[in-house]
């Protein structure tokens, strides 16, 4: 058995979209640690380059997942330069926290364009390549908001639920080509996206106390679940949403009975 056993990614090309920061950056570094040849993709070209510079042998390129042509060109470039794409991880999303009655059409379109259309663009472009090469693993990022919600999260939650269904559809359509499609669904993670919440002490504490572990996750705590799904350890896992949420969706937590 190889040095990392079932989790060894040696000889595999891993494209990490969103690798310029947060969870994507942590996953890119983690994939390289397990032996993968890493390509860091991000809308922020400088951030992608900075991550790649910290990973021996890695390269970077800009990509706008909301732009179908941009995604297709990025994936084709990887195939041309690396020969194939074995692993694709896509982390980016945006959120506009507003009540339904206050949401503008422009805000709706912006969130859907990145979170839902962007995911579809990546699934289509990568699925086409992996189906042709008869193998590969794709991991997207859903959220606890795919199953539970709070005020101000309507459109974000809708898109995260949509990602879960796209993952199942991708698994159904690409399974015959030995292509697996899964998702990780984090709880609350310390990333640039959640920085405004962290800056509010009461809000930060409320989220921490909602999970069974009574704390937020670090970005690097999403690396293990993600790399499990792309590795041979998950060779029979597809169409699954893996919740890495500190127990958020497992518990109600509103009241602890006396004596407990």
**Residues tagged active-site:** 156
Tokens of 162: 């949509």
Do residues 7 and 234 lie in contact, with contact meaning Cβ atoms separated by under 8 Å? Answer: no
Q: List, in sequence order, every residue forming a beta bridge with 14; answer none if it has no partner.
A: 38, 87
CB atoms within 10 A of CB 56: 8
């Amino acid at each position: 058995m190889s040095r990392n056993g079932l989790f060894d990614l040696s000889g595999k090309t891993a494209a990490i979209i969103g690798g310029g920061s947060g969870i994507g950056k942590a996953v890119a570094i983690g994939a390289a640690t397990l032996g993968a040849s890493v390509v860091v993709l991000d809308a922020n070209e400088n951030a992608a380059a900075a991550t790649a510079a910290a990973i021996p042998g890695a390269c970077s390129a800009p990509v706008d997942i909301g732009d179908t042509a941009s995604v297709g060109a990025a994936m084709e470039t990887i195939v041309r330069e690396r020969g194939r794409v074995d692993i694709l991880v896509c982390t980016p999303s945006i959120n506009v926290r507003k009540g339904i009655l206050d949401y503008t059409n422009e805000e709706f379109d912006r969130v859907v364009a990145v979170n839902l259309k962007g995911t579809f663009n990546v699934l289509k472009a990568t699925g086409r390549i992996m189906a042709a090469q008869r193998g590969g693993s794709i991991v997207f990022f859903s959220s606890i908001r795919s199953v539970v919600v709070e005020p101000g999260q309507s459109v974000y939650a809708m898109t995260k639920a949509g990602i879960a269904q796209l993952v199942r559809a991708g698994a159904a359509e690409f399974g015959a080509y030995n292509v697996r499609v899964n998702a990780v669904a984090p709880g609350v993670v310390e990333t640039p996206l959640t920085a405004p919440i962290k800056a509010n002490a009461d809000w930060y504490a409320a989220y921490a106390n909602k999970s069974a572990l009574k704390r937020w996750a670090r970005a690097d705590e999403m690396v293990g679940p993600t790399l499990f799904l792309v590795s041979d350890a998950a060779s029979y896992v597809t169409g699954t949403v893996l919740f890495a949420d500190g127990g958020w969706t497992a518990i109600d937590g509103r009241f602890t009975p006396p004596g407990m």
